[in-house]
Amino acid sequence: MVKATTRQKRGTSIGWTIGTLALGIVSVFLYYRYQHDVSPFIRHAGALGPIAAVILMALLCIIPFPAEFLMVIDMQVFGVWWGILWVWLGAMLGAWVTYLIAKRLGESFARRFVPEKHLHKLSDMVKRHGAIGLLMARIIPLIPFVVLNYASAMLPEVHLLAYLVTTGIGIMPYDLGAALIFLGFSKRWIEWIIAGGVTLVLIWLITLYWQHRHRHREERLKNQVHLNSQAQHPQDLQAASLPDTARRFRETRRRPLP
């Protein structure tokens, strides 16, 4: 069972890596598909351009639609670091609004966006590890961003402050990796592309380390609980061993002497 679970988790990590690459390809396609529609709108907004970029990103973080293409457009229009800043602020605004919507409209509405398996996975992580579990759910994108927003709001133990703090910290590594890769392609600096790739690989390695560490920790806790139960009820173990002792004694007496 443990080996099967390990294979499943490794498969999930590999699937996330493949999914990230696929999402990057889709983002490039969407960028070239919609840049003539979105880019002029943001460029011609003047001083309101950053506000428009933040609001657009927030809207894409509320509805289940890929927002990576808008990240590329923002970096193209405002430059890499300002673009990433507006992307981050938009994601934070979208996460906050999603939390309020889910709390306001109730669990029945939020369940439309949250598969049961994702809700159980997040609930288990939060119950076991608290805010750290919620942070790891952000850093390790095993659950889609929008789904995680709604799922977090459905859990009574997740409060708004912890939700916003873990969201703000958790999305930084991914945004940084995307910024470095975009900077490398735009400036044709292979070093930045490598740096961005290394950042994403580090996220994947953190995933494996965190899963490995907590899997072994859970096994140790289970063993400790088992040993404690044996120490608390030694008379039960002794009583359970009496029939075996009597049976072996009878078998010994029945054996013919040499």
Both 210 and 221 in a single domain?
no
- Provide the token pair at 162: 């912890």
Both 112 and 150 in a single domain?
yes
Both 186 and 200 in a single domain?
yes
pLDDT value, residue 214: 65
Both 83 and 157 in a single domain?
yes
pLDDT value, residue 53: 87
Both 135 and 167 in a single domain?
yes
Cα separation, 81 vs 117, in Å, equals 36
pLDDT value, residue 209: 74
pLDDT value, residue 18: 47
pLDDT value, residue 93: 95
Both 116 and 69 in a single domain?
yes
Both 130 and 236 in a single domain?
no
Both 185 and 233 in a single domain?
no
Both 163 and 247 in a single domain?
no
Both 236 and 250 in a single domain?
yes
Domain containing 245: what range? 217-254
Cα separation, 149 vs 94, in Å, equals 9
pLDDT value, residue 235: 52
pLDDT value, residue 1: 46
Cα separation, 256 vs 258, in Å, equals 6
**Number of structural domains in the chain:** 2
pLDDT value, residue 2: 43
Cα separation, 130 vs 99, in Å, equals 18
Both 98 and 116 in a single domain?
yes
pLDDT value, residue 104: 87
pLDDT value, residue 16: 47
pTM score > 0.95 for this model? no
Residues (pLDDT < 50) of the chain are: 1-4, 9-19, 21-22, 25-26, 29, 32, 237, 239-240, 242, 249
Q: How many other CB atoms are there within 10 angstroms of residue 149's CB atom?
A: 26
Both 181 and 202 in a single domain?
yes
